Structures are given as structure tokens and as C-alpha cells.
Chains A and B, each alone.
Chain A
Amino acid sequence: MPYIAATDNERKAMLERIGAASVEELFSVIPASARFPKLKLPLPLSEMEAMREIESLAAKNLCASTSAWFLGAGAYYHFIPAVVDALSSRGEFLTAYTPYQPEVSQGTLQAIFEYQSMASALLGVEVVNASHYDGATALAEAVLMAYNASGAATGLASGGRDKAIVCADLDPEYKDVMRSYASAFPIRLEFLDLPPEAAAIRSDDSTFCVVVPYPSFSGTLGDIAAAATSAHAAGAFLVVHTDPIMCGLLKSPGEMGADIVAAEGQALGNPMSFGGPFLGMLGSSAKLVRKMPGRLVGEAKDAQGRRGFVLTLTAREQHIRREKAVSNICSNQGLAMLRACIYLAAMGRSGMRKVAELCWSKAHYAAGLIAALPGFAVPALGSKQEFFKEFVVLTPIPAAEIADKLSRRGVVPGFPLSRYYPERTHELLVCVTEMCTKGQIELLARSLEEAAE
């Protein structure tokens, strides 16, 4: 049997020591009628056969490395330096557990502390936790965090605010997850189809937070500083969801006044992997830290004065507070976070800036070429809205048709918005990262033109 060390003789010796006649006897407590079911599972393969099967299944997928790739919409094709795989795949990192025994987990704990430090710098906040499942759950937990921090939930301060204003131009999957998470609490989610600064002005004394994307799902950049001013004037927190790659170049949401910042960290050294595992990033100002869900690592000293790292502020968490915990979250995305940590350290300040500059230049080049095509338009260019690496293209024939045609020819042109919004049939969300070459961008423009003929 694979992965089982004991031999028949050893099993016999152990049974004797235990005083049981057989292994079956160890299960005598199981109800007899249900015991030892015959499971209808395929017969086992050897490692060699299993790998062959896996390889042939993998070949059935369209993959970004063999196409000209312009599809983003929540999962991004960015460069992953070789050091990330090499270092994160070390068995001591890969097969370690949650660092509950700090003396034998200093590798994991220090890596988390370094990630917290670099992510704080990137997002412009004072504290970042050790991660959530993905950007969507991080944002949902950010809303719950704001709700708790506004005193409404605990009843410890004079609360009473129950409304969260949310910009509607947010990834629809994120909106769904937010609804799922908020459904157990007396929270009203108000989705407004307005840019950040306009949405924030609608805050009143029933608003505990304003949630804005930077960039929006359509790729555009709003005025975060203005949104912060309006939200704060009404006594509400500003929660911003951002792109961590973009933060390498542009002013961070924290710097512009966000109280809580959430992000999808997949772009930082994690492959797209059909949607998971991803990396939820969550950070806030220091004064909100005791309401922050998830794991936190802090510096500590031992009796000899040596510096070490330890899970801290654990009284907030489920294993102590149980039903009164700030969240039910138990695990973090350990390995995905480690990859992001190595990525940030490898990129450093100049690398992060360069990647973002490449995305900005290439996306704007692509937008320019596409806008010039007969029958196509790029609204962001027309209305002089700023965008980072994604932009919406208005297409002369349904975008889904174009995407289908082109995908078969090795050019994946973007995301037809009709897949989320059925009425938006002629809109394509195009994403351009540092992975796209000039040749591929020009191929995209030519292919779009041909597809529309």
C-alpha cells in the first residue's frame, strides 16, 4: 500500500501488544450494518500511471503559457521568478504545520513577519495579517471588521450603524461573497453604481463603512483621497480593495486615507491555477488591530534576550473566543503567503515598480491600437479616465463570439462581460500585463479586427 510503512509482521506485533486479535476488532464499535462499505472508486494506479493520466488531463486545458493571453478579471498572468518555486517547495516550508510551537517554527513565523512588513509597506497600512483565503473573502471580512470596529456588533460603544455603501463596479464574484458573509448579520449592503468619490458622499450616520475598488472591475481609477474625506466626515470607515501590483507604482490606498485595505495577492508569485489557492490580503491602521480577523505574528524575546517571532493577539481567534470570535477563520493561506513574501523580497522596490510600469505602458499601448480599429471603442480613453492594466473594449459584434473564435486560434482576447452581466453583450474586459509582448499585442489588435469582419 502506498505511503504505509508498517509490514504485516509489524502489524501483528502491534496487535499483540494492544491485545487485539485483528485489525477488524479495533473497529468493533462501528455499527455493524454500516461497517466496511465497498467503495465504488477506481482501482489504484502506480505513480507512473497516475502521472501519465495527469499529464493527459492537463493537456486538455487551454493555458496562458501557450497563448497570447489578455484575460484577467480576477486572476492574473504575471511573471513568477524561479526563486519563488525553488524556495517555497522546500520540504521544511511545505510540510510544516501552523506555527503553534514557536520554538520549532521560526522559519514560518519569521517569513510571515517579513510578509506582514512588506505587505504593510505596499498597501500603505500599519498592520497586515497573515492572509485570508482570497481577495473576495478578505474584502468580505474587511466589511465585518468595520462593522465590529464601529461598535455596532459588540454594543460596547454607542453604535447603531448598520449600512455599508459599496461601489457596484466591483468584481461580481466579490459582491456575491460579500452578500454571503454579511447575510448572518443585521448589515444592509447598498450597492451604488457610482465612482468611489461619488459613492462616499452618500454616507450618513447609518453608514459604518464605504467599500470602494481601486482599480474598479472595469479597470478604472477613482479618487480615493476624496472618498476618504467624505467617508470620514460622516463617521464611516473607508475600505478599499486594490491591486497589489499596481501599488508598486501608484500611491497606496493607505496613504490616501483608507482605514482598511483588502487585495487579491495571487499576482504576487502565485500561479493562476484555475482559481486557487489564492491569497487574501488584509491590512488596517494600528488602532483597528484588535478587531482584525486572521493570524498575526509579532516580535518577541526569549529569556536570553534573543529575538523570535510568535503568533500573537490570539485571543481574538476561534480557538479561544469560540462563538464570540471575530471570525471563524482557522488556517491562513500559508504557502501562498510565503510565495508572495519571496516574490516581494525578490522584486524589491525597483522590481515592483518596473513590473507595474510595464503593465501600464503595455495596457495603454494596446488600448490605443484597439481604439483605432473600425467599430471598436475604449471608453476609458475617450472619457480620459485613468486605468492600470485592464480596460473595457466596446465591440461591434458580441464579445463572447470574438472570445470564442480567437481562443481557438491561440489568442485569448479578454473577458466578455456578458458572462457576468447578460445585457452587456458587446463589452470585452482586456488585461495586459508584463507577460504580453509587443508582437502579441499587435496580434491581438489584428485578430480583433479580423474577427469583427
Chain B
Amino acid sequence: MNLRPESLVYELSSPGRECVSLPSCDVPSARPPAALLRDKLELPELDELSLVRHFTRLSQKNYSIDTEFYPLGSCTMKYNPKANEAAASLPGWRNAHPLAGDEFSQGSLEIIHSLQSWLCEIGGFAAGSLQPAAGAHGELSGVLIIRAYHEARGEHGRRLMLVPDSAHGTNPASCTMAGFRIKAIASDAEGGVDMAALREILSGPEASEVAGIMITNPNTLGLFDRNIEAIAAAVHAAGGLVYGDGANMNALVGILRPAEVGIDVMHFNLHKTFSTPHGGGGPGAGFVGVRSDLVDFLPGPIVAKGEGSSAAAYSLAMPARSIGRLKSFYGNFGIILRAYVYLRMLGPEGLRSVAENAVLNANYVKVLVEGTYKVKYPRRCMHEFVAQGDIAEGVHTLDIAKRLIDLGFHPPTIYFPLIVPEAIMIEPTETESKETLDEFAAALLQIAEEAKESPELLHAAPTTTPVGRLDEVAAARNPVLCYKG
């Protein structure tokens, strides 16, 4: 890791330096009216070598999957295959324009159509759209589809969405953006949806307002909710639909098709389960899949395959009663392409082995640490599990996370889900070797010892990074959000 302070690109700037070479103008020069011209443009001026050194040095201040184990629960930080990158770099993909016309875009359209079909097959859905740009975007599509479904049946009063208290924050936020009210449902002692609480709502005064339930299964505790079929049946009986948050699909690919246990609409995160790179926070891509009577509502355009004489021709089509466009064009094609390559190389058995190894690895790490770190729900986990960081007086999960950094690991997800105090959510993924898992577990056990014997090591951590813990309170009270010269 590069520990030296790195100047801002503005601080490396020197007047007159130039980097990019552009051709001179080969046509008569035309100028805008002077009144429209800007006087100054405060952008840095660097030579190319300084620019390259700057960003290279910056990159060396990051932990990444390519360099460290990254067991972030609910993020599925699996290896991002280089084959995906090689495929995506071809000029035929990069320089394809979305409005070139169906006939001139058959390569791109086939990629999208194939991935649409494969993801439907994986989930058990009748049709799907790859337009959403991310998981949260897929969620928004899903709840908008639910709203459109009820409106189409004249049920305008169904404005209440049920959301488990263990849910990811994007779930209630997406509901708000779709015009729903939210009712939180408690979790039971096993970490699943509290069935008594659910039945009470579904038979109570608000029952006729229920549009549906948003459910994550395996849930955010890494546990498979055994009651999924009963939950779906109860909500369906009350006239609602079941939305599945597919963030945790890495445990289910080739193991279970969510549509077969009552999920009506679901999103997948291509940047989680399907290996596309996280890029420091994006871009991702969301797939939204639906059961057959919701197909008309999908966001579009989506890709259709022709029949008859033009059987090979792919074309763009807007679903009949689509909720509309959720972004321009057809989705994050560059990401869709990477997921296509991944699936093309895995095949059906490869996919199943992804889930098998992901779940095996998680259970292995859990059994290595659960004697020392409390695991609130000790039953078999799926691809991730939640432990608690309250291992010693005065020591918090935050301290454990920062000490893990000093031992060369990216910390797991902390303080989520909200229903577990001092939560540490660990998701190893299937692409890690047993040695890595053993080293990580050993590090956690070492930290547990240090927490009792020499807690100052934890409180001072991290000490092997370019900066220590930052004063986030001061940063939020007096935000400095851009370079001011």
C-alpha cells in the first residue's frame, strides 16, 4: 500500500502544461459569439507522466479484490474475471451506438436477449428486463411493476408495502420513490419473518391496503427463511404480490428458482452474483424478472427475438403496458456483456458449484469463529453469516474492523443488519481458497485475544494505512466538497 500523502491533481498543476494531443482544425475555423464564451475554466494542467504517476499512486492506496480478501456481507465480493474485461474491450462493443438501428446492432441485441433468457431461467421467471442500472434501480422497477399491476385491476387503495425490519435501506427508500407507505415487520427468534405479526397485519384493518411484501431470501442475516412458501401464500391470499430482493442470489443459483417458491417479481445484481467489477462503487446493473401475468409491465425497451422468416433477428420492443423507461437506452450494456461472458464460461453446473462453494465457505468460516464471536442465530447459514463484535469491555465492532485492516484484510460489513447489535456480516464467496479463509479466521481470533490483552491495538487501528481514522463529524459539520485553490 502506498502510504505517502498524494497531492490533489490541482496541486500538481502548472500553468502551460499539456497532456493530450489533438489534431489541428482541418476545416475553416468558426467561433461562437463572444458573449457566449466562458472567461476561465479552472481545470488542472498536467503533463502526461505526472498524470500517470498521480493516478497510479492513488490506485495503490486502495484495498481491492485483486489485492486483498474482501468479505463484505451482502456485497458478494467474488473475483472479477479478466476474461470479462478482455471481452468488453473489443471496439465492436465500445463503439456501438444505441440508436444505430436494430439491423446494425444484432451483436449487442443478441447479448442482451441471451442474458435476459438465462437470468429468467435461473430465477424461474417468464420474462425480464436488463434496463435497470443497479440493484436499487431494479428494486424501483419491481415496486413500480407491483403498483402498475394493482392499478390495472382497479385496486387503487393498495399503497402499503410490508418490509422486514432486517431489510436493506434501499427497500423502504425504493418504496417511497414509488409512492408506497411502508410497514415494518418484526423478525422472529430464528431471524426470519415473524409469521404471527405477518398474519395479524394481513387480517387486520390495513389488509386491503397491502400491495405486497419485499423479501430478501436468504435474508440479511444470511439465513434461508423456511417460511418462504407460507409467506408468499399468505400475501397472495390477501391480494398482494411478493417482491424478491435478489442481493443474496449467490446462495441460490442452481439451488432454487425463487419463482418456484412464490416470488412474483425479483431483481438480481449483476455486480454481485454475476461477477461484474465493483469499480469503487459502480457501475452495476440490475435485472428485474417477473411471473407471466406481469410481463407487460416490465420497464423497457427490452430485446425480443423474431419468429418466422426473421427468426434470427433480434429487435427492441416496449412491453405492452410498460411502467416506462427508468433510464435512457437499454441498460448498462458493458456490464451486461461481462455477465454474459461469465455465464457462458460457467454453464449450469458451474453455477451450481458457485452456490455450493459460497455456502460451504461461509459455514466453514462461521464454525471457526463462532466459539469466540457470538453468532446470534447459530443454525446453518447460507452464503454469509452475522457475528457480533461485543467480545470485550470497551471494544466495538468498529475497532475490530479497523484492526483487521492492519492484518491485511478488508473489513466485513459492519453495523448491518440493524437488528443485530455490533453486527459483523461476513461473506467469503466461492472464489477464495481455504488458506485465505483459515488466515482470516485466525486474524479474527487474534483480534479477540488482543481485545482482552491489549485493546489499545484495536483502538489505535488502523496504523498501516495512509491515514488513520478520520474525523467524520467535523467533515459533516463543515463540509469541504471540492478544491478551493
Q: Which 5 A-B pairs have the closest CB atoms?
A: A275-B329, A58-B92, A44-B347, A335-B279, A91-B66
CB-defined contacts of A51 to chain B, threshold 8 Å: 83, 86-87
Is A257 positioned at the interface, with any CB of B under 8 Å from its CB? no
Closest Cβ of chain A to B169, distance in Å, is 4
CB-defined contacts of B436 to chain A, threshold 8 Å: 5
Asked if residues A95 and B64 are in contact (CB atoms below 8 Å), the reply is yes
Instruction: Determine the residue in chain B with the shortest Cβ distance to A362.
Output: B27
Asked if residues A276 and B283 are in contact (CB atoms below 8 Å), the reply is yes
CB-defined contacts of A93 to chain B, threshold 8 Å: 59, 62, 64, 279-280
Closest Cβ of chain A to B325, distance in Å, is 4
Asked if residues A438 and B41 are in contact (CB atoms below 8 Å), the reply is no
Is B38 positioned at the interface, with any CB of A under 8 Å from its CB? yes
CB-defined contacts of B279 to chain A, threshold 8 Å: 93-96, 334-336, 338
Closest Cβ of chain B to A21, distance in Å, is 13
Closest Cβ of chain A to B129, distance in Å, is 13
Beyond A17-B364, A303-B469, A313-B476, whether A99 also contacts B280 by CB under 8 A is yes
CB-defined contacts of B25 to chain A, threshold 8 Å: 357-358, 361-362
Is B203 positioned at the interface, with any CB of A under 8 Å from its CB? no
Closest Cβ of chain B to A417, distance in Å, is 11
Asked if residues B479 and A361 are in contact (CB atoms below 8 Å), the reply is no
Asked if residues A407 and B101 are in contact (CB atoms below 8 Å), the reply is yes
Beyond A60-B106, A184-B179, whether A117 also contacts B8 by CB under 8 A is yes
Is B242 positioned at the interface, with any CB of A under 8 Å from its CB? no
Asked if residues B133 and A133 are in contact (CB atoms below 8 Å), the reply is yes
- When chains A and B are docked, how far (Å) is the Cα of A180 from the Cα of B136? 15
**CB within 8 Å of A: which of B454-469?**
462, 465-469
Asked if residues A352 and B350 are in contact (CB atoms below 8 Å), the reply is no
Asked if residues A361 and B29 are in contact (CB atoms below 8 Å), the reply is yes
19 more A-B contacts (CB under 8 A) besides A4-B354, A51-B83, A321-B169? A6-B361, A39-B254, A42-B344, A55-B90, A62-B96, A71-B97, A104-B410, A111-B55, A113-B482, A137-B137, A184-B180, A248-B41, A272-B96, A274-B93, A298-B476, A323-B176, A335-B279, A348-B13, A348-B43
- When chains A and B are docked, how far (Å) is the Cα of A362 from the Cα of B271? 40
Asked if residues B31 and A360 are in contact (CB atoms below 8 Å), the reply is yes
Asked if residues B27 and A335 are in contact (CB atoms below 8 Å), the reply is no
Interface residues on chain B, number (Cβ under 8 Å)? 194
Is A134 positioned at the interface, with any CB of B under 8 Å from its CB? yes
Please tell me which one of the listed residues B6, B41, B177, B401 contacts residue A122 in the complex, with CB atoms under 8 A apart.
B41
CB-defined contacts of A128 to chain B, threshold 8 Å: 481-482
Instruction: Determine the residue in chain A with the shortest Cβ distance to B259.
Output: A34
Is A177 positioned at the interface, with any CB of B under 8 Å from its CB? yes
Interface residues on chain A, number (Cβ under 8 Å)? 203
Closest Cβ of chain A to B53, distance in Å, is 10
Mask, B285-307, CB within 8 Å of A = 1, is 10000000000000100000000
Is A443 positioned at the interface, with any CB of B under 8 Å from its CB? no
Instruction: Determine the residue in chain B with the shortest Cβ distance to A27.
Output: B255
Asked if residues B169 and A15 are in contact (CB atoms below 8 Å), the reply is no
Is B392 positioned at the interface, with any CB of A under 8 Å from its CB? no
Instruction: Determine the residue in chain B with the shortest Cβ distance to A15.
Output: B360
Which of B107-115, B193-201, B233-241, B443-451 lies at the binding interface?
A: B107-115
Closest Cβ of chain A to B418, distance in Å, is 9
- When chains A and B are docked, how far (Å) is the Cα of A215 from the Cα of B157? 42
Instruction: Determine the residue in chain B with the shortest Cβ distance to A7.
Output: B434
CB-defined contacts of A71 to chain B, threshold 8 Å: 97, 99-100
Is A83 positioned at the interface, with any CB of B under 8 Å from its CB? yes
Asked if residues B99 and A91 are in contact (CB atoms below 8 Å), the reply is no
Asked if residues B380 and A77 are in contact (CB atoms below 8 Å), the reply is no
**CB within 8 Å of B: which of A330-377?**
330-338, 342, 344-355, 357-358, 360-362, 364-365
- When chains A and B are docked, how far (Å) is the Cα of A42 from the Cα of B135? 26
Is A87 positioned at the interface, with any CB of B under 8 Å from its CB? yes
Mask, A94-117, CB within 8 Å of B = 1, is 111111011111111011111011
Which of A155-163, A168-176, A201-209, A227-235 lies at the binding interface?
A: A168-176
Q: Could you pull out 5 A-B pairs where Cβ atoms are within 8 angstroms?
A: A96-B280, A103-B462, A103-B466, A307-B5, A345-B46
Instruction: Determine the residue in chain B with the shortest Cβ distance to A438.
Output: B26
CB-defined contacts of A11 to chain B, threshold 8 Å: 357, 360
Is B45 positioned at the interface, with any CB of A under 8 Å from its CB? yes
Asked if residues B468 and A302 are in contact (CB atoms below 8 Å), the reply is yes
Asked if residues B48 and A4 are in contact (CB atoms below 8 Å), the reply is no
Is B373 positioned at the interface, with any CB of A under 8 Å from its CB? no
Mask, B329-340, CB within 8 Å of A = 1, is 111111101000
- When chains A and B are docked, how far (Å) is the Cα of A434 from the Cα of B362? 52
- When chains A and B are docked, how far (Å) is the Cα of A441 from the Cα of B106? 27
CB-defined contacts of B8 to chain A, threshold 8 Å: 110, 113-114, 117
Is B346 positioned at the interface, with any CB of A under 8 Å from its CB? yes
Asked if residues A354 and B22 are in contact (CB atoms below 8 Å), the reply is yes
- When chains A and B are docked, how far (Å) is the Cα of A17 from the Cα of B364? 7
Q: Could you say which of A74, A314, A419 has the most chain B C-beta atoms within 10 Å of its C-beta?
A: A74
Beyond A61-B92, A300-B471, A437-B26, whether A130 also contacts B281 by CB under 8 A is yes
- When chains A and B are docked, how far (Å) is the Cα of A292 from the Cα of B100? 35
CB-defined contacts of B44 to chain A, threshold 8 Å: 118, 345, 348-349
Please tell me which one of the listed residues B30, B55, B334 contacts residue A361 in the complex, with CB atoms under 8 A apart.
B30
Beyond A96-B62, A107-B59, A334-B282, whether A276 also contacts B48 by CB under 8 A is no
- When chains A and B are docked, how far (Å) is the Cα of A147 from the Cα of B177? 13
Q: Could you say which of B110, B335, B475, B482 has the most chain A C-beta atoms within 10 Å of its C-beta?
A: B482
Is B343 positioned at the interface, with any CB of A under 8 Å from its CB? yes
Asked if residues B26 and A277 are in contact (CB atoms below 8 Å), the reply is no
Is A190 positioned at the interface, with any CB of B under 8 Å from its CB? no
Q: Could you say which of A17, A18, A174, A322 has the most chain B C-beta atoms within 10 Å of its C-beta?
A: A322
Is A452 positioned at the interface, with any CB of B under 8 Å from its CB? no
**CB within 8 Å of A: which of B397-456?**
401-402, 405, 410-411, 416, 430-434, 436
Asked if residues B56 and A90 are in contact (CB atoms below 8 Å), the reply is yes
- When chains A and B are docked, how far (Å) is the Cα of A144 from the Cα of B27? 43
Is A154 positioned at the interface, with any CB of B under 8 Å from its CB? no
Is A447 positioned at the interface, with any CB of B under 8 Å from its CB? no
- When chains A and B are docked, how far (Å) is the Cα of A73 from the Cα of B360? 49
CB-defined contacts of B393 to chain A, threshold 8 Å: none
Asked if residues B434 and A298 are in contact (CB atoms below 8 Å), the reply is no
CB-defined contacts of B363 to chain A, threshold 8 Å: 14, 18, 20, 26
Closest Cβ of chain A to B270, distance in Å, is 11
Closest Cβ of chain B to A18, distance in Å, is 5
Beyond A35-B255, A50-B87, whether A302 also contacts B30 by CB under 8 A is no
Is A401 positioned at the interface, with any CB of B under 8 Å from its CB? no
Beyond A120-B482, A318-B136, whether A304 also contacts B87 by CB under 8 A is no
- When chains A and B are docked, how far (Å) is the Cα of A42 from the Cα of B349? 10
Mask, B121-145, CB within 8 Å of A = 1, is 1101000000001111101100010
**CB within 8 Å of A: which of B25-69?**
25-33, 36-38, 40-46, 48, 51-52, 54-56, 58-68
- When chains A and B are docked, how far (Å) is the Cα of A184 from the Cα of B140? 11
Is B390 positioned at the interface, with any CB of A under 8 Å from its CB? no
